[in-house]
Amino acid sequence: MDRLKQNQGITFGLIFFASSETAHDRDIYRLVLESTKYADRHNFSSVWIPERHFTRDGWMYPNPAVLQAALARETQQIQLRAGSVVLPLHSPLRVAEEWAMVDNLSNGRVGVSIASGWHPNDFALYPDHYEKRSEIMDEGIETLRKLWRGETVQVKSGDGSMVDVRTYPPPIQREIPIWVTAAGNPKTFAKAGAIGANLLTHMYNQSVEELGEKLKIYREARAEHGYDPATGNVSVMLHTFIAESQQAVIEQAQGPFCDYLRSAAYLLNAVAYSRGQKVDLSTLSETDVEEYLKFVFERMISTQRVLFGTPESCLPLVRQLQAVGVNEIACQLDFGLETDVVMANMPHLNRLRELSEEIAPPEPPRSTTPVDLTSFQSNGYQSEPSNRVQNGQAKPEANSLKAVQERCQEEISPDAFYERLTQHGIELDADYRSIRQLWRGDGEALARVSLSPVFERERERYQVHPTLLDSCLQVVSAALSESFGAGNDVLYLPVGLNSFKLHERPGKVVWSHATLEQHISQSMTQLEGHVRIFSEDGRLLIEAMGIQLQSSASVASEPPTPAAVLAPWLYELRWERAHSVAAAGNAWPQERSGSWLIFADRQGVGPHLAQLLRASGQQCALVQPGERYGELGSGRYQVSPSQVGEIQHVIQRVREAYNAPVRGVVHLWSLDATSTEQTTTNSLEHDLVVSAHSALGVIQALAQEGETQPPRLWLVTRDAQPVTSDQSSLAVAQAPLWGLGRTISMEHPEISGALVDLAAGEEREVCAQQLYDVLRDTSPEDQLAFREGERYVARMMRSQDLAERELHVRPQGSYLVTGGLWGLGFEVARWLARKGARHLILAGRTSVPLALSGSTYPLASAWLI
């Protein structure tokens, strides 16, 4: 199973597969465009466009790259994916070219799922490929990956000769994200894992349990072939229609979906096959066909093969899919519904996404059995004696403030409530005690809340004043029976939150209604609740859903060690020995043929590197630092390290002199930096200008080139990285170059070549040969080092050493924790609170200020800003 991060839930994307065309839409792509723009604005993960040929069902999608190119310019953040590219129908060269264009148009947001194809008629495009389509797909994936990385492949040209070609334009992403489309065959799941690909599948002919078993095969195959089983992304396609009630689903979706089933023979066959049957609609009367289609519609809902219902009724299926290792639900919207109907119900789908995206690790899937659809077709809620919340959403009669006021009749003194908090170390000044009246019912509580006059003056500065919100969230503790806990010595307080939604800015006085997911018992240490905040006249203002509560009795007397808290989260850069490229032969890569610019050191590595490059047919120019620009002879220049204009000028002069594109720039000036032992303030300033400052000038010059294939930059240092455990010192004056280079790899990947750290004491000829090997290596490795003739590469590894280092916390201190608010940030904050920190400020991305009660620990305040 995928080892997902704590509280990381399923993401939601959109997928199109059939036809968005309806009688009311003259613009056949309106649903795709409008729903994708909505999804982009509301943090959906992706949109998938299929490849379909020569069929009325899905005829709108013969080329996903074309449609995704249009979506690229309409969106800002959503991932744009092919679901799928039938690779045996194409040359991998064309696939690489088309999707690299979309990657550029979208600023690096594409992904491609690959399929082998299934319909013989599709192979009219490549009839010779049908019999060997699986093998051709496997070869094509490898070719596509190579081309995407910028490598060349050998192909036959028009005159029959073999030539090396590279595709253009260069993509934004270094590696192309690849999925493999699996219809249900376990062998396909294993193949996807074996090649380290992600997985796209569906629920037509498999239950959640069956899918879970196949995902185990997928994860095991990843592990067997050297891939981390926890990193593969599994996307599951589900027909989706989320509405405000179950009755609305029946009224709006049953007719269109049954018509869709009638035309989608592949879907009917898959459903029938999963039940061990085969159905030929041509043998049935029209009445029988209608009855059968309704049966299939109901059966797909009851056996959880579709995502039809309300956000709350569909949440259990989402939890089950997450439990078996699914990372993303791809929601298929195009099965005949009118575009206006789909768009009107998108907020309900978004509500399900909000409930699901940060849910706690779900329960394992339950076996699916047929259900009575009469309850599904009623008002959407079965009668139940309890008035408490179900699946995070109150029943319709419980939604109003008036109904809550009628149920919550047991009045509690706010002073008694705050006194109990004080007994547990949660001391709140009078100005922070904003609960004015408090009532409790069965598993719920209601409070009238208003700010102290001290804070009322600053209320307009906030969307929601932190003290007001903090008090509203405290009400969930009062929903517990037996004096706010399971006993006098036990208190449950908020420690986490799944989702927060602001409908309207609150006024001076609000009502906070808190509910619990389940009744408590003595054995429970964690609960989950929800808070809805109403205006004085009953309007819903705020929803805080999935509030995790922890028992104060579960807090250990001694705080856990930093290692226990931080070990799962901390990673560090480690250097691993790698194979040398020396055995790759003497061939120079075609895509790197041209002229080279070497910012040469005084120790002679640069000139020796130039000799090796010239011996391979490359043209080289050497640049040395000086006070001003100058030409020192054939192929030799001088520039001021601080003058970007001079660096741009020398690049242009080299291009003109050699009449060839500048393929690469090698920066070696850092090798002349002062040794660490002799470093002074003055020498450090000088070395930073010659190394990091001049490298920045090179980067700026290259970034302004505007070429389709700009020169790439290799930054070289010596002993600036702690590669081996016996390394006694670091070249501190050169180390900043690595920070600059890592930034460039993210901000300007089109010019980033690699960072290379040479070993002290090596002969200049050896260093030049090592650099030469790096320059002709077209692998994606971009951080390398050499020690005692061995080549090392940088890898991010989980770090136990960092976690076990002693962290000193000042009692009564104040601490700011930035970022990681739903993961590491909260874990660190909780650990700090256990160690005695008095005030915590958690800073992260949120649309409103959010105050959190101090976990189960004696904090004076804990704020999320």
Element containing residue 332 per DSSP (H, E): strand 328-332
Average pLDDT over residues 835-845: 64
Enumerate the domain spans of the chain.
11-246+305-373, 396-554, 576-798, 807-865
**SS3 state of residue 383:** coil
- The one-letter amino acid at 592: R
Confidence band (pLDDT; 50, 70, 90) for 377?
Answer: very low
Q: Is the pLDDT higher at 431 or at 78?
A: 78
Candidate ranges 20-24, 686-690, 712-716; pick with highest mean pLDDT: 712-716
Distance between CA atoms of residues 264 and 269, nearest Å: 9
**Per CATH, domain 396-554 is 3.50.90.10:** no
Confidence band (pLDDT; 50, 70, 90) for 493?
Answer: low
Q: Is the pLDDT higher at 561 or at 698?
A: 698
**SS3 state of residue 622:** strand
CATH number for the segment(s) 11-246+305-373 = 3.20.20.30
pLDDT at 712 over 50: yes
pLDDT at 454 over 60: yes
* Lowest mean pLDDT, pick from 21-25, 578-582, 679-683: 21-25
**SS3 state of residue 461:** helix
Q: What is the pLDDT of residue 368?
A: 35
> For the CA atoms of 475, 479, 485, 488, what is the dihedral angle to 10 degrees?
80
Confidence band (pLDDT; 50, 70, 90) for 118?
Answer: confident
* Lowest mean pLDDT, pick from 47-51, 429-433, 501-505, 525-529: 525-529
* Lowest mean pLDDT, pick from 204-208, 766-770, 861-865: 861-865
Distances (CA, A) of 843 to 9, 400, 566, 820: 22, 34, 19, 9
pLDDT at 246 over 60: yes
Contact 46, 68 (CB under 8 A): no
Q: Mind listing the pLDDT tens digit for each residue in 732-751?
A: 889 899 988 888 887 888 88
Residue 787, Cβ density class (10 Å: 0-12 exposed, 13-18 middle, ≥19 buried): buried
Nearest CA among 609, 600, 596 for reference residue 661: 596
Confidence band (pLDDT; 50, 70, 90) for 557?
Answer: very low
Q: Is the pLDDT higher at 650 or at 74?
A: 74
Candidate ranges 140-154, 369-383, 660-674, 783-797; pick with highest mean pLDDT: 140-154
Q: Is the pLDDT higher at 651 or at 29?
A: 29
Of all residues in the chain, what percent carry a pLDDT higher than 70? 77
Distances (CA, A) of 754 to 108, 571, 623, 641, 783: 20, 22, 20, 21, 6
Q: Is the pLDDT higher at 858 or at 231?
A: 231
- The whole-model pTM stands at 0.46
Q: What is the mean pLDDT of the chain?
A: 80
**SS3 state of residue 613:** helix
Nearest CA among 774, 773, 755, 771 for reference residue 763: 771
Confidence band (pLDDT; 50, 70, 90) for 57?
Answer: low
Q: What is the pLDDT of residue 749?
A: 82
pLDDT at 96 over 70: yes
Q: Is the pLDDT higher at 173 or at 465?
A: 173
Q: Mind listing the pLDDT tens digit for each residue in 249-278?
A: 989 998 888 888 877 655 555 454 444 444
Q: Mind listing the pLDDT tens digit for each residue in 582-617?
A: 444 557 887 788 889 999 999 999 999 999 999 888
Confidence band (pLDDT; 50, 70, 90) for 33?
Answer: very high
Q: What is the pLDDT of residue 717?
A: 94
Residue 557, Cβ density class (10 Å: 0-12 exposed, 13-18 middle, ≥19 buried): exposed
Of all residues in the chain, what percent carry a pLDDT higher than 90? 35
Distance between CA atoms of residues 63 and 735, nearest Å: 48
CATH number for the segment(s) 576-798 = 3.40.50.11460
pLDDT at 854 over 60: no
Nearest CA among 85, 110, 88, 89 for reference residue 99: 110
Tokens of 466: 């932190």
Average pLDDT over residues 177-200: 93
Q: What is the pLDDT of residue 574?
A: 83
pLDDT at 421 over 60: yes
In sequence order, the 6+-apart residues with CB closer than 8 A to the CB of 845 are: 821
Vertex 374: Cα angle to 368 and 380 (nearest 5): 85
pLDDT at 722 over 70: yes
pLDDT at 391 over 50: no
Distances (CA, A) of 812 to 840, 858, 861: 10, 10, 11
The string of DSSP codes covering 657-707 is: HHTS-EEEEEE-GGGGSPPGGG--HHHHHHHHIIIIIHHHHHHHHHHTS--
